[in-house]
Structure formats: C-alpha cells, structure tokens
Structure 1
C-alpha cells in the first residue's frame, strides 16, 4: 500500500478516479457521498475496477496526516451504504503511516455494468478535478452497457479449436443430447466445430470467451486475461481455520463436477419424532450445490478479475461467492417474481450453459433452493450482496428442531413469510411493510428494530425460555433486584447494577441498549422516591422517614 500511495502521489494531478482530501480530523459525510458516486461512476467509464479517495493529503499533495478513527470510518461506511443506490460501500480502507503521519486510502469500487451509482438520488461525476453532476451522455453510456456489452460473447484473438479440451467437448455433446433428444441422431454427423456452433459456444467456428471458460484446456486460460477462470474450494474447521484447499480452472464444464466431488456431503440423521422427519438425508441437496455453483459461473463479473470461492465449514455450512453485483437487486424480488430475469450479465455464456444442460432459464432455481431447505426444516439460504459480490451460505443441518417443528405445524405460512421469520431469527433488518405483514399474523412482537418471535409461535415449540429472554421481564422485576442489592450491600454504582443485570435483560437488546435500560431503571426508582445518590455519586436506598 505504501508503494501504491507513492505511485498515486507521483501522478501529475488529481484525475477523474483519484481525489486527495486534507481531512485532518473529520470529513463532511455529504461531500464524501458525492465523491463516492462520482469516483465510482468515473471508474466504470474508464474501465477501471476501482477509484481512490485519499484522506490526510492537501491540495499540493503534501501529507498532512489525519486523525480520523475507526469509529468515524464505520460511521462513514454506514452513511454510504444507506444513501447510495445501488447500495455500495468502500471495498476497503487502508491506513498507511508516512513519517508518523497517517493517510487513509479509501478504495471505491467501480459502478456495476449498466448501473450508475447515485448519492441521495443524484448521479455525480468528474470533469478533470471538478465535481459535478454526471452528464447525460455519460449516464446513458453506463446504462447502455447492460444492453450492449457482453464480455462472454467476445471473440478470442489467436485461439482455435485446438485450445479446447477434447474430453470436455465429448462430455458436452452428451449433455447437449440430453437436453435436445430430437437432435440425438443428427448430432452423430456433426464435427466438433458444427456442434459448438449449434450449442452456441462458438460463433461461425470462432472461439469466444465462453468457449475458453467452459471448454478450454487448462493452459488456455491466458487467452481471457485479465479475467480468470478459477474456482477455489477451501475446507475450514469449526474455528474458521483453513485445513485444505484446491484450485480448479478451465474447462469449468468439467471442474464443476470436480468441485462437487471435494465437498463432503455426509448424511444428516434426524432425531426420531413420529413420522414428521425422514430418518436420513444429505446435508446438502445435490441440486442446491449444482445451482449455486453454476449460478456463480453464469453471473460472475469476469471483468473484475476475481475467482469463484466455495468454502466448506466442518460445522455444516457451505458458502459460494462470486464477483459482481446482483442484477435483480434483491432476493425477495426474485422469490416474489418466480420468473426469469429479463437481462443477464453474461447472456451468451448463460445461453451456452442452458444448451449444455448446466442451468435453466425459467427463473425458479433460487426459489427452489429456498423450498428445498424449508421442506427439510433447515435454515434458509442466506445471501450477502454487499461489496460488489454475491455470497450465498447454505446450512446443512437443523439449528433448532423444536422451532422447525412448529413452523411445519403452520401450513398457512407462505414462503415469503418464512423468509421474513428467518430474518428475524438472524437479527436481520426488515422493512415496515414486512413488519406489518408479520404482526398481522401475530408471528412477531417487539418494537423496531428489536423484533422477536411472538408468544404464540414460541408456545409449544420449546422456545418459551428463548421468548422470555428476547422479550424480557417486566421492569418491576429488575427494579426489585436493584432494591434487594441496596438492602443487602447498602450502596452501589451504576457499573455494579450493569454487571448484575446485563445478562438478565432481553437478548434482543445490544450491550449499549442494555446499559441505557439500566440507567433508565435507576432513574425510574429515583422518580418513585425509593433510591437516591449520596455525596460520592453512589446509589443508596432512601430512608422511610425521609419520604
């Protein structure tokens, strides 16, 4: 990072993708958001993966240092995530010490292909060093990317059919025949070039990026550089420590099966409970692994130069991650629509994968993943769409048998409602309309943002204790504990009462909220005339004759 900082400082001037700010102790969040939008959009237009905003450097490119703290940075990040559209954030924030002066290097991701980045509803850009609105021509140029540019259809100069794997082509023929039964006899007369043209992997015998990606020999990967054709499988133990890994490259048509073979899909045995649960199932349904992995290949943004990650944890969680924003914007939108998306990042690649029986385009794949997990009473797939990545985590076990059984006894619950309950259980935020939807069916209680499952849902599911822990007990109970403490020990500080009560207060509250609750309880007792503070600012009971 020091070397990169020196390179940026040696540039002749600031540019559309580079900005210096003095920011000795803080920086205006609204200006920061405008620069984020502008630099992100300009990086896209200049075909760069990122832009840089450097704090602690004045207009003369002299390092003056900044004292901005991690807490301030987190505040900036929260503001950026909340007010940008689509929701983006700094890819990373690096601290570099130069002669005892701190410089913060904020890495800003380029706007996604076809989607300009707005700050509070306005699009910003740069004209040299000047910040201003993104002009109409540039705005349309970004928007047209989704309709015009398709990396996967581009022809590869210098490549020929000899750069493709014969084994991969042979197996691709089998899958194409499986998908197109009526062409089985005719296929026997096709040479490889004819087959690849028919499968829409090549164009008039010319090799495409898609052909190298799916069917290329391992040594042919260099043809698509700086893009990469890599899947990395990593095995981690329960503590997140890496135990094993392996890299897979093109042909990805064959690598998918090899990656699948690395995943230890052991049998999961349910506790017997009448006939509600089957005796034994796979931890991970083969369909889910296939769908998640092939989706990662089809929707990866190869222009970002990233690789696909498959992380297997020994505690029964499988995670798939690929570079690039999620074009439908939200998983809820995909579930509700239950229809194919009207545009793809790599349409030529997606079409080839359909022809080779790797994916389908009816749009129900993600919904089917949710339904499979629901029917097995496993936690639903969890998506993270931040930082220009799509990450999905699949849990291959029941986290709470009683809770799963209770959900199974509520046949009126729709999939969308189960997804929302899953969010509540994981302390994820839900919108006001979603809150009203769940409260109308008496499925949740509490106040925003601290919701928890309702008493009705807790009753009979073995979650009564958890319900009380989340909802909490009446204030009278906590105040009685405070009075008992003062009766026995005569005096106490707020810290004493926090130590006594924090683990008894509702689990739905954060530590800060619990401490505020203790403060409010003490004030309530004081208002009631039951306690007061002495000269040392310690709490004591008021004597009866003083009341």
Structure 2
C-alpha cells in the first residue's frame, strides 16, 4: 500500500485511538517517549487482533499536516530501528518507516507491529498501553490476556512421565477420600468402596490412571517432589517478632493436602480480648478466623504460578498480622473487581489443580471466597485484608486485632454504607492512595474531605465515629489563624528566624500532612504575608513590614 494512501486513510479516520497516535514532532521528539508509544501501540494492536498500529509524526491532533524535521537524514532514521529494538523485549523492530512528502510538509508513518502472540512488549523493562488517547502502564489484566494467548496447556494437568501411584502418600489418599466424601455426600458410601486408582480418577486428580503434577502436589510423598522440578512445592512458615526479626521457621512440602493443615496448626491463633462493651461482643475471639487462614493459604496453592519456580510464604508477626504470598500475577486484575463481581473467575492459571482442590473440599468455585474474607473482617471490626499485587507476586495481609473500635463500629452502623464503601474508607484510614474516581465517589457521599493525596474522614463520619477530635486535627483551619499567629509573634518579639516560625506552627498544622508538607505550608504562609505587604525578610529573619 502506497505511503500517500496510508496517510490519507489515517487522516480520514476517526482520529486518535488505542492504535493511532498523531504527534507534531516539528524538530525533535523524546526517544524515551517514542519507546513508550512503541510498547503501548504494539500491545494495543495485539489486544484488538490487528497486525499493526500507527504513530504519525508531522500531524496535529486535529489532523492538520504541519511537517516534521525529526531525523531528516535517511541514515539516522533507519538507525532508529536498532535503537528501539535494543530497549524493547523480543527486540521488536518496525515493519517499516514510511516517509510521505505532503504538500504541507514531511510526514513520518511508523508502522508498529502487534506484540507477538503470548508476549507483551515492554519498553525499558515496563509494559505500556493506551486508554483511548492516553498513554500509561498496561494493566495487569491486559498483560495476562496477552500472556495467556499461547497457553494451550495447563501446567498442573501435565502427566509426570514415569511416576506411579506408589509415588503418592497412602495417608494423603485416605484424607483425600474423606474430604471427597464430605464434599460429595451422595457419593460418600460409594467413594469408600472404590480402589485408589478409581477414586483418584473420579476425583479428577489423575488422568486415566496416570499421575499428574496436581496429584504430586496434593498427594505426593515428600521424596516424590522431584517430579515437579524446577517447580517448588514448598510452603515456608516464618515467625517474626515486633521488630521484624525472624524467631522461628519451618518448611513444608508434598503432600500439600496435609501440609496445608500442618501450616494451619503451626499458626499461633491467640485469643484476642475486646474491652467490655455490653453484649455487642464476646469477651474474646480468635485473632484469625479459621476460614480466612484456610482460604488465603489454599488460594496461594491453587493459583501459584509454579513455572516461576518460587514458593509460598506464610509470615506470622507477633504484633497480630499474617502475611500470605505466592509467585504469579493476580489474573482478575484487581481485588475490587473480584469483590464486585462476586462470581467465579472465568480464567484459572491451574484449572486441573483447582478442580481437584474443589473435589477435595479445599476451595470452592462460587467465587465468593475473597469477598467472604472481607465480610468476616468487617463483622469482627478488624482491618480489611490488604492485597499487594506487583512484581509477579500476590501478597495478602490479615490483621488480627481492632485498630480503632469506635471508628470501626460506628462506621459499620452508618446507613446505606456498602462493603465497597467500607473498603475505600479502610484505605483512607490506612493512608493508602485512592484513584480519582474512588475519591469522587466518597466525596459525593460526604464520607471524606481534603485534597489528594491527603484525604481524611469527613465531619459526617467523624460525628458517627467519635473521631471528632481527629477530624479537626486533619482538617486544620483556613490560613488566617496561622497568619495571625505569625504576626502576633513578630509584634511581640520583633523578629523571628524560620526555625522560630517552624516551632510556632508545625505542631498546629493538620496531622494529615507529613513533615515535608508541613514545612512547605509554612513557606507558603510566609510568602503570602510578604506578598500582602504585612511582613518582610531582613537577611535570614522576618519582621513586620515598615510600610
């Protein structure tokens, strides 16, 4: 297709989109920005099932050609292919760079190939994508969508060639049969009559008598774990003191059906005492609800990416926290999406393993496990589970104590407050960031105040939660009272150094501000008084203005 025709077609189109970007680039253009566009457009072309995307230099957003002098030398332009390839994954190169001599100036058409099937394209180690016309990080969900394009196999369903039923633990098989009967009560009597081979096939742990990786993981003898190399069927329990120093640890391996229960018993689930409060609470409860421990641990077993070669870690902190982590990206993309959907996930990393664990009563597929964890913590007035999803790892932290009983109780009593709202307010209490949309949602309901990133609970919530004092400390005052304090000080003592002003104001500024922000606030107050002609600097000291 002729370059001139390509340009006319792009100019006649609907404009910029996920796969078309116009740039003026009159003389130069940032090489790093160019690379980010290459990554983004390549990934978006893949996701839309197209062969290529387009980056156009020398054209304004309104489709008017203005021309570009970017790399006018043909040699420099051709060298761009290698320069880009050196910083992209898979050494992506342009299919072609088209030069069009338009009547209004030179135009460059970069035809960017779609990311290879199953392999998202990164620029300088980071994946980029497009949201309409905006350039930004490629979402975790989109990265996984591309990566799964070539996953025709299920790692957990693969046959361990040479392994036999002798590699499985008799004790683990007996426990599996017991759990299967619990999960399928109508088959309970019949299940106890099956021989091992029949039972394992029926429970979808083996395939026609052949031992799968899932079978070794769940039921294999410890010495049979070599069949899974280089995957590591290991759960490591670690106990840390309040300073984060390791006090004890233990490793658990196959069979994970039994090891999961051993890890559960290893966790010191101490009793937590509530302060007396009528009959609203029992006098004491377990720090961690048993369902939450088993759900978090079994989810780690079911959804770990074993091909990454890592292991599951369960870290117990003496200050009342449990942290579960496993290798592998969180396929649904976000925990909020899982909670809102409250339905089974459409894709699983280890489908065969997941089905086997369902049959053995370890997990279920109704999709409500994570949501139930949040509801349990909410009803106990404990902080909600905290997920960290980055660097090819999923980590969830469970807190086994009340952080602020009055706040939590009154917050739950607010009318029409949904679990989603409580999840967002929990982030505010933990000083975690909110997206713009989340902040707008909470502000529309009058639940938070303040400016990004320093949001705090609103007066409405504070009145319900006995947080009125904290609300005032976070909200602070308008600028005038602070300015008046500065003026009163200068009139009383004649002059002040910056450290004197800091000593006067820093502890009076809103608690929601960090030390750097408080210092910046004092600087702005002084500058404002100076601009108003109220005070003036004299060397490194401030005085009332003589004018």
Say yes or no: TM over 0.5.
Answer: yes
Q: Describe how 1:246-261 pairs up with structure 2 within 5 A.
A: 246-261=250-265
- Is the CA contact 1:115–1:143 (under 8 Å) kept in the aligned structure 2? no
Note the alpha carbon deviations across 1:118-173, whole angstroms, 9 max, x for none: 41339xxxxxxxxxxxxxxx999844234x22110111122111111111011101
Q: Describe how 1:310-389 pairs up with structure 2 within 5 A.
A: 310-389=314-393
CA distance in 1, matches of 2:394, 2:228: 22
Instruction: Report the counterpart of residue 296 of structure 1 in structure 2.
Output: 300
Note the alpha carbon deviations across 1:347-398, whole angstroms, 9 max, x for none: 0000000000100000000000000000011111011001111111111111
Instruction: Report the counterpart of residue 196 of structure 2 in structure 1.
Output: 192
Q: Describe how 1:41-60 pairs up with structure 2 within 5 A.
A: none
CA distance in 1, matches of 2:189, 2:521: 76
- Is the CA contact 1:403–1:463 (under 8 Å) kept in the aligned structure 2? yes
CA distance in 1, matches of 2:368, 2:358: 14
Which one of the candidate residues 144, 149, 156 is aligned to 1:144? 149
3-state SS of the aligned residue for 1:228?
A: coil
- Is the CA contact 1:231–1:308 (under 8 Å) kept in the aligned structure 2? yes
Q: Describe how 1:125-140 pairs up with structure 2 within 5 A.
A: none
CA distance in 2, matches of 1:242, 1:38: 46
CA distance in 1, matches of 2:211, 2:150: 23
Query: Does residue 408 of the first structure (1) align with residue 447 of the second (2)?
Result: no
Instruction: Report the counterpart of residue 509 of structure 1 in structure 2.
Output: 513
Query: Does residue 213 of the first structure (1) align with residue 217 of the second (2)?
Result: yes
Which one of the candidate residues 467, 479, 490 is aligned to 1:486? 490
CA distance in 2, matches of 1:230, 1:499: 54
Q: CA deviation at 1:28?
A: 6.1
Which one of the candidate residues 517, 541, 545 is aligned to 2:544? 541
3-state SS of the aligned residue for 2:471?
A: helix
Structure 1 range deviating more: 247-256 or 428-437: 428-437
CA distance in 1, matches of 2:237, 2:523: 49
Structure 2 alignment gaps of length 5 or more: 1-29, 45-87, 89-115, 132-142
CA distance in 1, matches of 2:412, 2:263: 33
- Is the CA contact 2:159–2:211 (under 8 Å) kept in the aligned structure 1? yes
Query: Does residue 119 of the first structure (1) align with residue 123 of the second (2)?
Result: no
Note the alpha carbon deviations across 1:410-432, whole angstroms, 9 max, x for none: 14211000001111111222223
Structure 1 range deviating more: 200-209 or 32-41: 32-41
CA distance in 1, matches of 2:376, 2:370: 10
Q: 1:115 to 1:319 in 2, by over 3 A?
A: farther
- Is the CA contact 2:406–2:465 (under 8 Å) kept in the aligned structure 1? yes
Instruction: Report the counterpart of residue 179 of structure 1 in structure 2.
Output: 183
Q: TM-score, normalised by structure 1?
A: 0.74
Q: 1:139 to 1:170 in 2, by over 3 A?
A: closer
CA distance in 1, matches of 2:378, 2:505: 37
Query: Does residue 433 of the first structure (1) align with residue 433 of the second (2)?
Result: no
RMSD over equivalenced CA pairs, Å: 2.7
Note the alpha carbon deviations across 1:316-336, whole angstroms, 9 max, x for none: 111100111100000110011
Structure 1 range deviating more: 503-512 or 349-358: 503-512
Q: CA deviation at 1:266?
A: 1.0
Structure 1 alignment gaps of length 5 or more: 1-26, 42-79, 81-110, 123-137
Q: 1:35 to 1:192 in 2, by over 3 A?
A: farther
- Is the CA contact 1:112–1:324 (under 8 Å) kept in the aligned structure 2? no
CA distance in 1, matches of 2:274, 2:229: 48
Instruction: Report the counterpart of residue 8 of structure 1 in structure 2.
Output: none
State the structure with more CA Rg: 2
- Is the CA contact 1:380–1:394 (under 8 Å) kept in the aligned structure 2? yes
- Is the CA contact 2:42–2:121 (under 8 Å) kept in the aligned structure 1? no
- Is the CA contact 1:296–1:320 (under 8 Å) kept in the aligned structure 2? yes
Instruction: Report the counterpart of residue 267 of structure 2 in structure 1.
Output: 263
CA distance in 2, matches of 1:235, 1:113: 39
CA distance in 2, matches of 1:270, 1:230: 36
CA distance in 2, matches of 1:40, 1:202: 38
